[in-house]
Structure 1
Amino acid sequence: MEFMKIGIIGTGHIGKTLVHRLSGAGHDVKVANSRGPHTIGADVLASGGRAVHAAEAVADVDVAILSIPLCRIPAIAPLIAAVSVETVVIDTSNYYPVRDGRIVAIESGQVESLWVVEQLGRTVVKAWNAIGSDSFAKKGRAAGSPDRIAIPVAADREADRKIGMALVNDTGFDGFDAGLLAQSWRQQPGAPSYCTDLTGDEMPAALASAEAARLPKRRDLAFAAVMERIEGVSTNPDAEYSLRLNRALFM
């Protein structure tokens, strides 16, 4: 797609890959974390991203990407309030109560993306939340590849959704139109589309078959299974184990 100015907040596994892929695709990428630009390693910036302070990361950009834990969204709201109304804000977060603490509204059934909208006071695009960090880092493919993984993208404004899908394509995956934010629960943890590495042909059935009432239990079962596997061993389960687990529990 056309050149864009992009600011990314967050240098975790997803954020780091976003910096690599989007700067490598020719976009002007600034990146920030909570600890300051001096803490962002050269490996994060290897494809051309620039380390800056958080306020600078989202200043004068076409797209601001929030790749931080969901529980940190309220704290960053004042920063986003200063962002131009023309800037597209993309959220990559997911709700995990063990990490984020119990959020009553989400526990009561509010769609995660709509909770984020309430915290920020503006609409967002939901993207890159339904891909595992290892798959995101290693399984990008050229457009048209038969095994190219699809990533669902939801947004209330069609123009924003199209930008999100185009940027997903730039990161090596098929951006899949997942509709409005009210339906983005279909790409939340526990859903058949969540971290199961589906192609564009497989994605429609996965989104359609999601059952909202079953998502929390499936999400928590997967988390508990990974934690049980970690206990007593010196290394984390490999990514393919997590992929097999998600497919067994979610699909």
Structure 2
Amino acid sequence: MNIGIIGAGHIGATLARKLAAQGHTVKLANSKGPESILDLAHEIGATAVTKEEAVQHVDVIILSIPFARHTELRGFFNEVPRDVVVIDTSNYYPFRDGAIAEVDGGKPEGVWVSEQIGRPVIKAWNAVLAQTLTDRGTAAGTPARIALPVAGDDADAKATAMQLVDATGFDALDAGTLADSWRQQPGTPAYCTELPLDELQMAVTAADQQRAPQNRDALMKTFMTQSAPLTHDDIVALNRALTA
């Protein structure tokens, strides 16, 4: 596939690396311009482009930018064909993004993103830590392979996203519609807990929409008040414990 990725941080760059390694043609863009990521793009087998170029002549667009910055992409999709799959990997954190009343009021993050950019999105790769994505993907069929939730309204677009999740080393769970995607947002049992497929299905089902923001904020407070740096496994364990 031809894939455009907007966002060259930990998640965006890792997705570019993994998808290019699987034979996909990847264009990578960031907010600073292609000159700032030429070396990175060359190293991972992608092409550094502008944000405008990233959405042209592609089959899939992956948005891997801070949540609140989706407002900057209004109009970017006006000329993009409707059959191009748009995947959002972001999460809402009020301490970073500022308070967004609609999301605080219960609107699923993916729905809000869709409204900002004027296109329906598929929610994927948002419920995984960067180190998990980088280091813990495994081949299909591996026992206890980590699974990731994928939510969206268009069945074909969601199937494409699930195929790409598998290509990055993880089982993909169909987690329902975009309106259901709150079940994989921060503070839920499916979020960054490194579960295999059967356990992830149970975690998605067990999510509590009212508790999730409280869990998210409590977890961030825990992270910020630690006297020593947390390991990756510490973070996974805290996510699991808080939402158990």
Q: Same fold (TM over 0.5)?
A: yes
Which shifted more, 130-139 or 79-88?
79-88
Matched, 1:158 2:155: yes
* Cα separation, 2, equivalents of 1:185 and 1:215: 9
* 2:229 corresponds to 1:240: no
Q: Does 1:193 align with 2:193?
A: no
Residue-pair matches, total:
244
Residue 63 of structure 2 corresponds to residue 69 of structure 1: no
Partner of 2:13: 16
Shift of 1:81: 2.7
What SS class does the counterpart of residue 176 from structure 1 fall into? strand
What is the distance in 2 between the residues matched to 1:102 and 1:81? 28
Task: Give the Å deviation of 1:41.
Answer: 5.3
Counterpart for residue 54 of structure 1: 51
Q: Which amino acid aligns with 1:171?
A: T
Correspondence for 2:178 among 171, 177, 181? 181
- Once residues 239 and 150 of structure 1 are traced to their aligned partners in structure 2, the CA distance between those partners, rounded to angstroms, is 17
Q: How much has 1:76 moved relative to structure 2? A: 1.1
Aligned counterpart in structure 1 of residue 167 of structure 2, from 165, 170, 175: 170
Matches within 5 A, 1:86-235: 86-229=83-226
> Residues 60 and 84 of structure 1 are in contact (CA less than 8 Å); yes or no, is this contact kept in structure 2?
no
Q: Is the 8 A contact 2:28 2:41 kept in 1?
A: no
Amino acid at match of 1:71: A
In 2, Cα distance between the equivalents of 1:75 and 1:159? 27
Map Cα deviations across residues 122-169 of structure 1 (whole Å, 9 max, x no partner).
Answer: 111000000011111100100000121101000101001100000000
Q: Which segment is superposed worse, 33-42 or 53-62?
A: 33-42
Partners of 1:109 and 1:132 in 2: CA distance? 23
Shift of 1:43: 4.0
Q: 1:81 touches 1:120 (CA, 8 Å); kept in 2?
A: no
Matched, 1:29 2:26: yes
Deviation at 1:193, TM superposition (A): 0.3
Contact 2:41 2:47 in 1 (8 A): no
Give me the TM-score of the superposition, normalised by structure 2. 0.97
TM-score of the pair, normalised by structure 1? 0.94
Describe the superposition over 1:56-114 as per-residue Cα deviations: whole angstroms up to 9, x where unpaired.
11101000000001100011122123322121100000000000100000111111111
Give unpaired runs (5+ residues) of structure 2: none
In structure 1, what is the Cα distance between the partners aligned to 2:41 and 2:189?
31
C-alpha distance after superposition, 1:173-232 (max 9, x if no partner):
111111101111000000000000001111111011000000000000111111111x6x
Runs of 4+ in 1 over 3 A off after TM superposition: none
Distance 1:11 1:94 in 2: 16
Q: Distance in 2 between matches of 1:80 and 1:129?
A: 21
Unaligned runs of 5+ in 1: none
Instruction: Confirm whether residue 84 of structure 1 aligns to residue 77 of structure 2.
Output: no
2:198 match: secondary structure: coil
Question: SS of the residue aligned with 1:213?
Answer: coil
